[in-house]
Amino acid sequence: QIQLLQSGAEVKKPGASVKVSCKASAYTFTSYGINWVRQAPGQGLEWMGWISGYNGDTRYDQKFQDRVTLTADTSTTTAYMELRSLRSDDTAVYYCARGSASDYRSNFDPWGPGTLVTVSS
Amino acid sequence: EIVLTQSPGTLSLSPGESATLSCRASQSVSSSYLTWYQQKPGQAPRLLIYGASSRATDIPDRFSGSGSGTDFTLTISRLEPEDFAVYYCQQFGDSLTFGGGTKVEIK
C-alpha cells in the first residue's frame, strides 16, 4: 500500500526554523514528485511547493519562495520541507502529497497524514 | 493566478439527499486540470475526482464531477453518513490553486 509517513508534531519559537520529513513507501520514489501543502487551523489548503523525485527539480509558490527549501533523498525515499523565519501565522498542519515527477502541476494522491507545526513564544 | 471560488460555503443536508457543489474559476481551466478532494475532520485530503469527471480509485459512483471552462460541479447523490466532509477543488492549468472549500454538514 502506497504510504507517505510524516515526522511528528513540532513546537517552535518565532524566528526559528522547522524541517518536516515525508517518507515514501511502496512505490518507485524517483517516478513521482512530492508536493507540500499547508492548512492553518480552520482554514483551507495552501500549496507551498513541489520537488521532483526524479531529478530534484523544485518549484515554489511565490509566497514561500524566500523562506522554504524542499529537498529529497532518493536513497531513503524521503522528502523534506524546511521553513525558516517562522511566524505565528505559520502555525498549521503541513501535508506532503505525491504528484508528478516531471511537473509541479498535477493531482495529489496520496497525501501524508500531516504534521502539526505550532509557532509560539 | 487563477482564483477558484467554491459555493456554497456550507451545505446542510440530510442523509439520502443529493448535494451539488460549485467551483467557479476566474479564468478558463482545461477540464483535464480540475480536481476535487474530500477532507474529513482530523484527516488528510483524499483524491476524489480528477480530470473534472473521472473518479479516483475506490470512489463510489454516487460521486460525479462535471463542467468545463470556468464552471465545474461536484454532485453527490444519496448522501451517506461518511460523505459529510469538506470538499475542495483544485486547478493546475495555470500554476496551482485550491478553492476555499465547501462544507457538507448534516442537517
On the question of pLDDT at A107 being above 90, the answer is: yes
Residue bearing cell 475526482: B49
Average pLDDT in the B18-29 region?
97
Closest partner residue to B44 (CB to CB) among A44, A46, A114 is A114
CA-based end-to-end distance of chain B: 35
Looking at the complex, report in whole angstroms how far the Cα of residue A110 sits from the nearest Cα belonging to chain B.
7
Whether A116 contacts A47, CB under 8 Å: no
Residue A8's pLDDT is what?
Answer: 97
Q: Cis bond leading into B8, ω under 30°?
A: yes
Beta strand spans in chain B (E)? 4-7, 10-13, 19-29, 34-39, 46-50, 54-55, 63-76, 86-91, 97-98, 102-106
Mutation pick from A22, A43, A108, A115 vs chain B, by most beta carbons of B within 10 Å, is A108
Percent of chain A surpassing pLDDT 70: 100
Whether B98 contacts B88, CB under 8 Å: yes
Q: List the grid coordinates of A83.
A: 521553513
Residue B36's pLDDT is what?
Answer: 98
CA distances from A103 to A45, B35, B54 (A): 20, 16, 21
CA B52 remoteness from chain centre: 9
Q: List the grid coordinates of A69.
A: 527549501
Residue bearing cell 524566500: A66
Average pLDDT in the B82-96 region?
95
On the question of pLDDT at B94 being above 90, the answer is: no
Chain B, window 9-68: residues with a beta carbon less than 8 angstroms from a chain A beta carbon: 33, 35, 37, 43-47, 50, 56
Residues 6+ apart with CB under 8 A from A107: A99, B35, B47, B50, B90, B92
- Give the number of residues written for chain B: 107
Q: Cis bond leading into A110, ω under 30°?
A: yes
To 5 degrees, how large is the angle CA A67–CA B39–CA A88? 30
Edge to edge, the sheet with strand A78-83 lists A3-6, A18-25, A78-83, A68-73
Looking at the complex, report in whole angstroms how far the Cα of residue A45 sits from the nearest Cα belonging to chain B.
6
Percent of chain B surpassing pLDDT 90: 97
Residue A86's pLDDT is what?
Answer: 98
Closest partner residue to B98 (CB to CB) among A44, A105, A110 is A44
Average pLDDT in the A83-110 region?
96
